Chain A
Amino acid sequence: MNEKYGNLIPTGQLLDGKPRTILFDAIKCIGCRQCVHACKDWNDHPRTTVFEISSSNWITMEPPVLEGLSPLWARNSCMHCEYPMCAAVCPVEAITKYEEGPVVIDPNVCIGCEYCIYACPWGVISKDDLTHKASKCTMCSDRMSEDKSPFCVQACPVGALDFGLQEEVSAKARTRAQEVGGYVYGEKEAGGTQVLYVLKEKKESYGIRSVGPQKYPKHKISLPLMLKDLFTLRCGLQGKVRALYLAIIHPRRLLYRYWPWRQVV
């Protein structure tokens, strides 16, 4: 793990260290949003809303129209990047990449600086209005450590979601893409993700973002936001101290935050 990540981001293990992947099959999906409600149910989030990503809605099915009323549907949630930029930019190392796949924010550590929100190429992190912490899909890391599949996956009534070991799921995705004359999304994006989509139409028809193959893609954290976090009371004194301490002990981790122009390591 450390070799792969060169000690650039916090890493960890939940179960057996074997990487896993979620598969979303857009051809099978009927747009019922049972996955969306399942995520809410598992995480005890408020019943609504289901149409926008928020701290209480970690997944949306796009487009934002009523269930079933679109011919095409796409899942929109954390892709669990192999090289997660959200984790790379976090000044307090609140985001961990687990070997099994999940990229998880620890709300107890998060200081609410919002860097990750701007760094995520898919824009799937939101800030909790009450706690001011960053929040997103956990790939059900709590379930994964008990060797259970993500709750959204088990909820899907038509088998449009699948889950398993990365190699097997990637192979499945490719076979399925071939079968339907489609392609796999997520294998190359941002250096590869642990959520894969099988799509048939053009990405744009699903409203899915184009993300280049670069690992730790360039972030969009604005300079004013950084300055604000450095020089104002935002994020608390403790947060700043912690960020400073971590900058000293892990200086390499500053690379991605402050050197967005760097090339892939």
Chain B
Amino acid sequence: MAAGGLEKLLVANSSDIFPRQRKTTLPGGYMGRILRVDLNSGSMKDENLPEEPMLRKFIGGQALATYILLRELPLDAKPYGPENKVVMMTGPITGTGFTPGGTKVTAVYLSPLTNHTLGRGAASGFWAVYLKAAGYDGIIVEGAAPKPTYLYINEGRAELRDASSAWGKGATETEDRLRAEVGIKDAKVMCIGPAGENLVHAAMLCNDYNHNAAHSGGAVFGSKKLKAIVVHGTARPPLYDRARLIEAGLRWRKTLMVRHEAEKRTAGHAVDLGAAPNFNFRSTVIEESHIEGFDKNRVTLRPCFQCQRLCPWDVELKSGNHSGTVGHFNAGSEWLDTFYNLGVRGNDALYLAQRINDLGIECSHFSCGVGVAFEAWEKGLLNAEKTGGLKFEWGNVEVIDRLLDMAARREGYWGNLLAEGPVEVAEAIGGDAPKWVVHTKKGTPALHDWRPHFGQMIREIVASGGMKPQGGGSVNPPPDLKYREKWGPLDRNDPAGWSWSNALSEQYRQFCGLIGGCWFAQMHMKPDGLNSMIDSFNATTGWNFDIDQALEAGHRSAMLQSIFGTQRGWIAEHDWKDVGARFLEPVPDGKHKGFTIAKWLPELVYEYHRLMGRHEKTGRPFMDTLKKLGLEEFQEWAQLD
């Protein structure tokens, strides 16, 4: 056969990514294999990790996963079609045990929320560590199973099993059941709740009780009738230089801003942001009632695998109507703001937060939808006739509780509408309601009131042409980059510097994820915060990245994310045009009253894309950018003029 012909064939089906036999040495930190699961036929296959040069380019996590997806996903794939794929990747520092934050797995797929951008869910906890212990760096899920199924990987052996006993169950119960079913206490479970099964567009992947990977991975799992992936094993990643890794990991640890139990008794991230969303983002004030009962609750920190930042925590409610409820949370606290936004306060908010996580609905999606509906009720656009007798009143815990179940099961008119999303809710209500929605490209931002904050707002609206941002202009730029960066004022009243700050932080946050690290444990604002992470990565793999190469790897990952969108119709103009009006309204009250970044749009968005090497309006990468990042193979999607 002519060599040329063969080559073409290989490129077309991407098998040139995965060598049949490795020719280059596998760097440290990797297990060396990816499991490919075809749910249509039930067949499974081990793929070798790419050769060293490709691995060095994409490393792991989101970049490697997205690259695989870009190469394998047909352009006409539908999010819920069996042709959609979920590619899940860890990174080399996942599971070494010697660094903080070595816990990450990132899943990518075509997003059912937007239908045209990259969906990305990233999870911490323990699951990713045990996936590697089972012998795999990642998983590619293809096709769709005929009936509820779960994937069980134990010590390098994978099998598909019947999931009917767990179908319909919440995430916590599913985890317990499947762990019992495989009979291994140490096994770790990533699963979907009823929301995923019923294709609620924003359904999450849930793992290790406290962890949720948002942004619709759960819905794609559901469309494939894949209830869970259970992993267990005893292997550990080989390390290039263990002693150096231990030393670098300890340095990294010193940069952490350790969280405390006391923080878990506050209104969470809203306190840091100086604003809580209330009544569908119409007030930002935080009152005593927000945290009523929190002081009496039993709170236990429940850290991720070998990470000392102490984000996740458990709570047992000690007062209120749901006293005795146990909740499992991570640090983000968007689930708290989710219910503050609906007028719920104190322990009731924690109760509902546990419910929504267990059902597996991305909390912001629900909150932004219900928020509009409640506002419509308040303003007389809805009445009991239209709501099936449910009183859409702020703070009505019973009604919200009921709506949660309805949404997760797409039950009735409202359940179905809420499962679709806030934009659909607003359109169905009509009148002025579409002006009250908070959304970005039809997805929803992690539910906090980001509006008073420059960097975070840019991050949320651009998100590199996707829905899930990484990074976010910080007012504390990394000291490790001081030697070469000029920051500009980073002042609330001055747009200068913010776009660059976002572009840069996106790059190092991306890098952190690619190597298998959790960007919550990535403390750029402290000296040595970036260097200790890069050194940990080098000691693990045996590569020798400097800070510029690390940033470039992050940049490449962000670029793959936008190329995926470009291929499917995303343009940069969507970033500021396809945003819910409420999200761009001036802050209604409080410390930051009147502030909005809207007055600097679209220039901020344009500037951000220019700085990232994309065309400001189309969002396509320039040829120079592709060359710099070694992505010439995607030149077909480049901006040519």
Contacts and interface: CB of A to CB of B under 8 A. Distances in A.
A71 B185 CA distance: 19
A48 B187 CA distance: 9
A38 B133 CA distance: 15
Interface in B288-321: 298, 300-303, 305-308, 310, 314
A41 B98 contact: yes
Contact of A47 (B133, B298, B301, B308): B133
A173 B238 CA distance: 39
Interface in B233-279: 233-236, 250, 258
Contact of A38 (B258, B302, B306): B306
Most chain A beta carbons < 10 A, residue from B129, B258, B308: B308
A68 B234 contact: no
Nearest to B304: A32
B30 interface: no
Nearest to A44: B236
Interface in B82-101: 95-98
Contacts of B303: 30, 32, 34, 157
B608 interface: no
A37 B305 contact: yes
B300 A49 contact: no
B302 A50 contact: no
B271 to A, nearest CB: 22
A180 B129 CA distance: 36
A48 B234 contact: yes
Contact of B130 (A34, A40, A47, A154): A47
B209 interface: yes
A66 interface: yes
Contacts of A30: 300-303
Given A40-B97, A67-B302, A157 B308 contact: yes
B232 interface: yes
A211 B301 CA distance: 32
Given A46-B236, A47-B130, A32 B186 contact: no
Q: Chain B, interface size: which category?
A: 20 to 34
A71 B303 CA distance: 15
B301 A158 contact: yes
B301 A32 contact: yes
A20 B624 CA distance: 62
Contacts of A32: 301-303
Contacts of A44: 236
A92 B506 CA distance: 61
A121 interface: no
Contacts of B98: 41
A49 B235 contact: no
Contact of B306 (A51, A69, A155): A155
Contacts of B300: 30-31, 68
B129 A157 contact: no
Contacts of A67: 302
Given A38-B306, A41-B98, A68-B314, A48 B301 contact: no
Contacts of B129: 47
Contacts, number: 64
A37 B129 CA distance: 11
B314 A41 contact: no
Interface in B561-586: none
Contacts of B235: 46-47
Contacts of B314: 68-69
Contacts of A34: 303, 306, 308
Interface in A66-82: 66-69, 71
B97 A51 contact: no
Contacts of A155: 306
Contacts of B236: 41, 44, 46-47
B232 A68 contact: no
A64 interface: yes
A127 B130 CA distance: 25
A37 B301 contact: no
Contacts of A49: 185-186
Contact of B233 (A47, A69, A71): A47
Contacts of B96: 41
Interface in A27-62: 30-32, 34, 37-38, 40-41, 44, 46-51
B302 A68 contact: yes
Given A47-B235, A68-B314, A157 B258 contact: yes
Nearest to B232: A48
Nearest to B133: A47
Nearest to B326: A69
Contacts of B298: 71
A48 B133 contact: yes
Interface string B126-145: 00011001000000000000
A105 B300 CA distance: 37
Interface string A107-135: 00000000000000000000000000000
Contacts of A71: 298
A48 B300 CA distance: 24
A166 B504 CA distance: 50
Interface string B97-110: 11000000000000
A50 B97 CA distance: 14
A37 B258 contact: no
A38 B167 CA distance: 36
A64 B130 CA distance: 18
Contacts of B209: 66
A66 B186 CA distance: 9
A50 B301 contact: no
Interface of B: 95-98, 129-130, 133, 184-186, 209, 232-236, 250, 258, 298, 300-303, 305-308, 310, 314
Given A68-B301, A71-B298, A158-B310, 17 more contacts: A32-B301, A32-B303, A34-B308, A41-B96, A41-B97, A44-B236, A46-B236, A47-B95, A47-B235, A47-B236, A48-B130, A48-B186, A49-B185, A69-B314, A157-B258, A157-B307, A157-B308
Interface of A: 30-32, 34, 37-38, 40-41, 44, 46-51, 64, 66-69, 71, 154-155, 157-158
28 contacts: A30-B300, A30-B301, A30-B302, A30-B303, A32-B302, A32-B303, A37-B97, A37-B306, A41-B98, A46-B234, A47-B129, A47-B130, A47-B133, A47-B235, A47-B236, A48-B133, A48-B184, A51-B186, A64-B185, A66-B209, A68-B301, A68-B302, A68-B314, A69-B314, A71-B298, A155-B306, A157-B310, A158-B301
- Kindly list the 10 A-B residue pairs having the minimum CB-CB distance in the complex, ordered from nearest: A46-B234, A68-B302, A41-B97, A157-B308, A48-B186, A47-B133, A30-B301, A68-B300, A49-B186, A47-B234
